[in-house]
Amino acid sequence: MKKKILIPLAAIVLIAVVVSILTSGDKTEAKVETKVIGLKDLTAMVTCSGTIQPKRKVDVSANAMGTIVYLAVVEGQRVKQGDLLMEIDPFEYDAAVQALEATINSARADLKLTEASLDKAIQDRDRAEKLFEGEITSEEQLATARTNARIEAARVEAARHRISQYQANLSKARHDLTKVTITAPMTGVITRLNVEEGENAIMGTLNNPGTVLLVIADLGTMEAWVEVDETEVVKVELGQTSLVEIDAFPNQEFTGTVTEIGNSPLRVRTGASREAVDFEVKITLEGTLPNIRPGLSAKAEITVAERGDALAVPLGSVTVREWPLDNGDIRVYSGSRARKQKAALEEFGFGIEDDDSDTTGAKTEEVKREEIEGVFILKDGFVKFLPVEIGIAGEDDFEVLSGLDAGQTIVTGPFRILRTLKDGALVEKLGGKGKRGRGSSSAGDGETED
């Protein structure tokens, strides 16, 4: 009786094993997202942030020291070139002018005395020459008279030079006196006022920010001063267009043009030993900006490249492999799956490489491998890694310069699958067979059934 029961059970187990073997050839290794690639317009952007600043501004510093005795402006006031801004106590500078004027008058009086002495010395010399001709005086007396005349002439010349020196000092003192009156060097708006009436003005040296009395800016032309990372600044060129968003105006976009690219890096320390390197780029905004103020935060997107009807693949579909592939990167099947794999890839123009390792023991030259970008194309459920040349990067896609054709189906994800997917592997589309796996794209998102 037991034998009659065991025989049917053994038959059932045998049938199950055979079915399992026969159906195992159709089992996939992963579920993937796919897309049929095509042409689209691409725009490459460099995103950066910074502040809004006037294209032209002047930091007004004092050229004379002293107490501010009169302040004629307030912050936010519009001024014209030449308008009075403030006055510094002129007492010391005025006193210096008066002292030099008195010194010059005294020097001119001394000059008259020396000129009179020179006239007398010349007369004495002429008289001595006549007496010498009549042999009335000695040669020594004549030499003394001539020497006295030359000495007095030199004194007159020195007095005249002293007067010239005093006059130069007087000119400088008068110029210093004019510096106590500070006027607007340009037409614009006072965007910052750092002093009050009664404070001491310090002379500005080496553009020291602490010596700036006020700032005048021309708000008619504004710029976005943004910081661009060193890896992206090489893409930025003069004349490129940009969209600028100002945080203070959230519902508006402003257009601008790149007008200046910094040559010196802006180094910002981000940690104990790490340092970020950015470059300053200036974008001149078009049109007038109402209620604009310097220092407003802004974000900019600079258009660095555009491609029309470019062959595009999603950013996530591009992966990296060491090339050429070795046996560890290639999935080789046996049995019926191997025949299906070979048929699919040969029909598509590819094949699975055979193992060319040398079994004779001879030493073969090692092939140098390097990392290369590529995508996985799909045919009849099997994937093939294909190197591609990448162009610009749009918002969601890479431009493909070579290696692919429009209409081919590629694997676009998930990333964890792409990272370890092997060449020649059998896969299943997410959402196939009436079901949709996790992480799949929305229905009709470029997916096709092969």
CA distances to 54, 60, 207, 232, 435 from 188, in Å: 10, 13, 21, 35, 68
The yes-or-no verdict on residue 23 having pLDDT over 50 is no
Backbone angles phi, psi at 384, to 5 degrees: -135, 125
Model confidence at 96, pLDDT cuts 50, 70, 90, reads very high
Question: Model pTM greater than 0.85?
Answer: no
Cα(391)–Cα(399) distance, rounded to whole angstroms? 5
What's the confidence (pLDDT) of residue 78?
Answer: 94
The yes-or-no verdict on residue 11 having pLDDT over 90 is no
Beta-sheet pairing, 427-429 with 188-193:
unpaired
Domain spans, the chain: 49-54+217-307, 64-88+180-201, 90-178
For 64-88+180-201, CATH gives 2.40.50.100
What's the confidence (pLDDT) of residue 77?
Answer: 94
Question: What average pLDDT does range 288-293 have in this prediction?
Answer: 83
For 49-54+217-307, CATH gives 2.40.30.170
| pLDDT tens per residue, range 227-245 | 999 999 999 999 999 999 9
Question: What average pLDDT does range 414-443 have in this prediction?
Answer: 68
Cα(377)–Cα(400) distance, rounded to whole angstroms? 14
| pLDDT tens per residue, range 131-187 | 888 888 888 988 998 999 999 999 999 999 999 999 999 999 999 999 999 999 999
Most confident of 28-32, 73-77, 272-276, 441-445: 73-77
Cα(275)–Cα(35) distance, rounded to whole angstroms? 41
Cα(49)–Cα(133) distance, rounded to whole angstroms? 97
Burial class (CB in 10 A: 0-12, 13-18, 19+), 16: exposed
Lowest mean pLDDT, pick from 330-334, 342-346, 401-405: 342-346
Cα(300)–Cα(363) distance, rounded to whole angstroms? 58
The yes-or-no verdict on residue 225 having pLDDT over 90 is yes
Nearest to 421 by CA among 33, 40, 9: 33
Lowest mean pLDDT, pick from 38-47, 134-143, 144-153, 333-342: 333-342
Model confidence at 361, pLDDT cuts 50, 70, 90, reads very low
Show the tokens assigned to 331.
């999935």
Lowest mean pLDDT, pick from 124-138, 141-155, 243-257, 414-428: 124-138
Cα(140)–Cα(279) distance, rounded to whole angstroms? 84
